[in-house]
Amino acid sequence: MSDHKLCPIAALLSAAEKADHPAAIGAFNVNFYSQAAGVLKGLRRSDAPAIIQASRGANRFQGGPDKIAYMLGRAMEQSNHRLPVGLHLDHGDPEKGEECADSGYTGIMIDASEEPFPENCAITRGMVAYAHPRGVGVEGEYGQLLGVEDDVHAEKTVYADPEKVAAFFEKTNADALAIAYGTSHGPNKGANIAQLKTEVVRDSYRNMADAGLTDNHFLVGHGSSTIPQDIVAEINQCGGDIRGAQGVPMEKIKEGIAFGLRKINIDTDLRLVITATARRFFVDNPSAAGCETLRGVKEALDAKLDVIDPREYLGSVTPFELLREPPDGPGVQEFVDLMALMEERIAQHVAFLVEAFGSAGLASSVEDVTVEDMKQRYARSDPW
């Protein structure tokens, strides 16, 4: 591993809470090396702290939590990234949570949101009991987002009840809580936008403040991609076929942040940027479709015009990226060029997002604490 220390998630979220303006930490899902490198590059441009997160699917794709932690360490080392970054499991279960807590992650999301409230609290509290003694933070989820999140599928939005949010924290001592307020995962949020209820965030935060919880406990907004329409248009102009894609309007995200969200989850926006870059690359470089390293990518894009998940078309080339020096050989330069383009375009979008979330410039406000320090703090605050 590199000597670039990962930051506890509580320290990151606390910096957003204490900022002198409404602020939230961006939490970006990553699946492969250049995606992580692009996020880090955007953060450096904005002097922003952030959370890099990996779902169970991302962990499978890279071969496990230790591989993801290694991948992020390499990306930080390669770019001499010195700003505070946390590594978080997204939508985990207890088994994967324990594995990640033992593999260098600084935060674990335990998603038991499909369970009734008491069971959800009990499962989340169990994760806290495992993670906190190891200095690792925990995020729970309450309410259900419409659509698909890893293995969890919900038919309709189940809004979080603001009256129960303080109780969730009191029963679990989780660091963070994803509350369902009407957003959904993926690129087609259109039907849900009319049902967004940012007042769920406002009232939840007020109840937390009344209970004295806001210093160490933080609200999270999932399903927050804005789905840039110019990127969707670019995908379609370059051979893709994405229909009805619509995101959360940025003013709604900002309203949610003003009302108390401190972590904003983004996955789909980056998938779209990556897909637009790949499709544009083959239009601009037709001969690349024939080269050894990229043929499979082009074929997968041609076979599924609405694909946006890079794992579905980058699979054959990903292991390459972790090598210290790419091997010489036919097609390697084209591969390196494509990855560099992805990195740059991801960086641009990440810089734009963290500016909008109010976390640009906050890097130096993050308290310099380690996972070791957090073990002591949690030992004092966990009542069991």
Q: Which residues bind ligand G3H (CB under 6 A)?
A: 29, 55, 57-58, 90-91, 149-150, 185, 267
Catalytic residue among 3, 90, 111, 302: 90
Smallest gap from Cβ 91 to Zn ion, in A, equals: 6
Reported in sequence order, the residue ranges of 95-197 that DSSP labels E, i.e. its strands, are 107-110, 137-142, 147-149, 152-154, 176-179
Give the span between the Cα atoms of 70 and 67, in whole angstroms: 5
Out of 214, 225, 318, 365, the residue judged to bind ligand 13P by CB under 6 A? 225
Q: Which one of the spans 25-33, 219-227, 283-291, 316-324 is the region binding Zn ion (CB under 5 A)?
A: 219-227
Smallest gap from Cβ 225 to ligand G3H, in A, equals: 9
Which two three-digit tokens encode residue 268?
């789909």
Smallest gap from Cβ 245 to ligand 13P, in A, equals: 11
Smallest gap from Cβ 243 to ligand G3H, in A, equals: 20
Q: Residue 237's CB: how many other CB atoms inside 10 A?
A: 12
Name 362's Cβ contacts closer than 8 Å, sequence gap at least 6. Answer: 15, 16, 19, 23, 47, 48, 49
With tokens 């990962």, the residue in question is 6
Give the span between the Cα atoms of 89 and 103, in whole angstroms: 11
Which of 111, 234 has the CB closer to ligand 13P?
Answer: 111
Give the span between the Cα atoms of 291 and 103, in whole angstroms: 37
Q: Which one of the spans 78-86, 120-128, 217-225, 226-234 is the region binding Zn ion (CB under 5 A)?
A: 217-225
Burial (0-12, 13-18, 19+ Cβ within 10 Å), 296: middle
Which of 139, 149 has the CB closer to ligand G3H?
Answer: 149
151 residue type, one letter: D
> Is residue 222 involved in binding Zn ion (CB under 5 A)?
yes
Is residue 90 annotated as part of the catalytic site, yes or no?
yes
Cα of first residue to Cα of last residue in the chain, in angstroms, is 33
CA gyration radius, the chain: 20
Q: Residue 93's CB: how many other CB atoms inside 10 A?
A: 18
Instruction: Please name the helix (run of DSSP H) or strand (run of DSSP E) that holds residue 63, with its range, or none.
Output: none
Smallest gap from Cβ 200 to ligand 13P, in A, equals: 16
Smallest gap from Cβ 60 to ligand G3H, in A, equals: 9
Which of 111, 334 has the CB closer to ligand G3H?
Answer: 111
Q: Are 51 and 27 in contact (CB under 8 A)?
A: yes
Binding mask 244-283 toward ligand 13P (x if CB under 6 A, else -) reads ---------------------xxxxx--------------
Which of 96, 222 has the CB closer to Zn ion?
Answer: 222
Site for ligand 13P in 35-94 (CB under 6 A): 90-91
Which of 185, 262 has the CB closer to ligand 13P?
Answer: 185
Q: Are 195 and 157 in contact (CB under 8 A)?
A: yes
**Which one of ligand G3H, Zn ion, ligand 13P, none is in contact with 225 (Cβ closer than 5 to 8 A by kind)?**
ligand 13P
Q: What is the set of active-site residues?
A: 90
The residue ranges that bind Zn ion (CB under 5 A) are 222
